[in-house]
Amino acid sequence: MSTNTQNDDNQEIDLSQISRKIGDFFEGIATKIFRVILFFKRNIIWVGILFVLGAGLGFYLDKTTKVYEHQIVVTPNFGSVDYLYAKIELLESKIKDSDTIFLKEVVGIKDTKKFKDIEIEPIADVYKFIENKEQNFELIKLMSEDGDIKKVLSESLTSKNYPYHLLKFVTLNETDYEKTVSPILNYLNKSDYYSLIQKEYLNNVKIKMAENDSIIGQINGVLNAFSSNVNGSQKSDKLVYYNENSQLNDVIKTKDQLVYEQGQHRISLVNLDKIVKNNSEVLNIKNTESINGKMKLILPILFISIFVLVGYFKSFYKKQMAKHNA
């Protein structure tokens, strides 16, 4: 009986101690909050000055320092995708090294100090990747057998071979096509090797188109002759039988394929006029991410926080000095 009574007393003592510690904890928090209030009350003038100073400076920086993003959709032709990525990596390294001479004289960018960053990434378009290319479709199937299809499509081995790539760069002010886009594209299209490849490729396309036109002309001659024979037979009194196994349908299908191929070649001549073809540009997208455009809010908080930390350090130093002297 006495043992049970002793256990109850111990439990009551433990509960009272826990309750007292919880009360002390919240009391300590309340004391610290009250000290912070007293600190701001004593230094209200300095806090006000720092707030106004930070807000004013922040408004000025937000107005004068604006970050803009620009995007160009490009197509590397003649197997120049690795060449394109290498050129962008070189350009990015020159920007990080602040090599304004290279940017101005080699690339042709005028306002080099405002040109801050550049990068490139593939535009995932698996349908274009396998369009009319059965070998690419078989490659995707083969690679996806041993892994996740999403991972396969995002790997550099696959993604670099997508037809379209997004080129992005950043400036500290607005720009236009002539100031930045045109110099960058000219820089990317300077290659003696790929210029020769382009010349021979275009010659091959034109030769192929001429041959296709010749074949289409011959097919038209055959079809015209057949039509004349049919019309002549219909005027005579003789019954004409047509062989169902004739190659007339094959001839018509061949012509249809050649006409489609000619259309594709004409589109190719438009897209292959450059080594790195620019398809579209979107310029002067204002960047409001991170701290861009938010300095009017960040600077007042930053200045006041520094002031509070300095005040806390001074108070801490005085207490420690008093302990040391004692």
Considering the entire predicted model, what is its pTM?
0.67
What token pair was written down for 246? Answer: 């004739």
Report the distance separating Cα 32 and Cα 26, nearest Å.
10
Strands 165-171 and 115-122: antiparallel
* pLDDT over threshold 70, residue 2: no
Once rounded to an integer, what is the mean pLDDT over residues 67-96?
A: 91
Place of tokens 């001429």: 210
Structure tokens at 26: 């919240």
107 pLDDT higher than 70: yes
* 124 vs 91, residue with greater confidence: 91
pLDDT of residue 275: 92
Give the model confidence (pLDDT) of 218-264 as tens digits: 888 877 777 666 555 555 545 444 444 456 777 888 888 888 888 88
Going by C-alpha positions, the residue among 184, 166, 186 that lies closest to residue 175 is: 184
pLDDT greater than 60 at residue 117: yes
Classify residue 261 as exposed, middle or buried by CB count within 10 Å of its CB (0-12, 13-18, 19+): middle
pLDDT of residue 325: 76
Section 17-43 average pLDDT: 75
pLDDT digits (tens, 9 = 90+) for 291-325: 666 677 778 888 888 888 887 788 777 777 777 77
Contact 287, 117 (CB under 8 A): no
Residue 244 pLDDT = 42
The strand pairing partners of 68, in sequence order, are 171, 286
Strand ranges for the chain from DSSP E: 68-76, 115-122, 165-171, 276-286
